[in-house]
Amino acid sequence: MGNKSSLLLREEEIAQIQDETGFTPSQIERLYSRFTSLDRGDCGTLSRDDFLRIPELAINPLCDRIVYAFFADSNDDRVNFRQFMRVLSHFRPIRKNKQNKYNSREEKLRFAFKMYDLDNDGVISRDELLNILHMMVGANISQDQLISIAERTILEADQCGQGKISFEDFCKALERTDVEQKMSIRFLN
């Protein structure tokens, strides 16, 4: 009703989004269809509540942080399709010759780092790490165990001895991790 036919993408918009994000035209069209199905207000944008109607997202322990990522670069409380696609492009598998500014190892790491940097000050503190661990494991691990994990993680990752993890520390700690694979989702082909 309404939004499917009134908000169709033009070929030049598809080409621009493809150039910017690396998605194929077919993937863009299918993701647009999903986007418009979530747009209950038929206004071409999504609110935080629209995202929370995605069952797989709603049950994710980091749901709030993931939804936040869609709004991090927005000055509004709504996200348009292009903003939606920019965030999703962080999760495209990396292909040699098909990278874009959102889909490199460094950008995937920067995106992951922002999930942990709750106050956006450019470092991950013990308390921020503890909050994220709490979100991820809930009451399954005791508070003392969570504190121990957070403190040990900071101790091992903090190269400067400041008691916080910088982006550089974060990258160094994950240098042997296959971030490209772990932060990739197979999108509709």
Which residues, at least 6 apart from 46, have a Cβ–Cβ distance to it below 8 Å?
Answer: 35, 38, 39, 70, 78, 79, 84
Domains of the chain: 12-89 (1.10.238.10), 105-182 (1.10.238.10)
| The token pair that represents 50 in the structure block | 């629209």
pLDDT of 109 reads: 93
pLDDT at 93 over 90: no
pLDDT at 74 over 80: no
Summarize pLDDT for 138-185 with one digit per residue, the tens: 888 999 999 999 999 999 999 989 999 999 999 999 999 988 888 877
pLDDT at 18 over 50: yes
Distances (CA, A) of 107 to 42, 49, 90, 100, 111: 32, 27, 7, 10, 6
**Spatial CA neighbour of 70 closest among 52, 93, 55:** 52
The whole-number average pLDDT for the span 26-44 is: 88
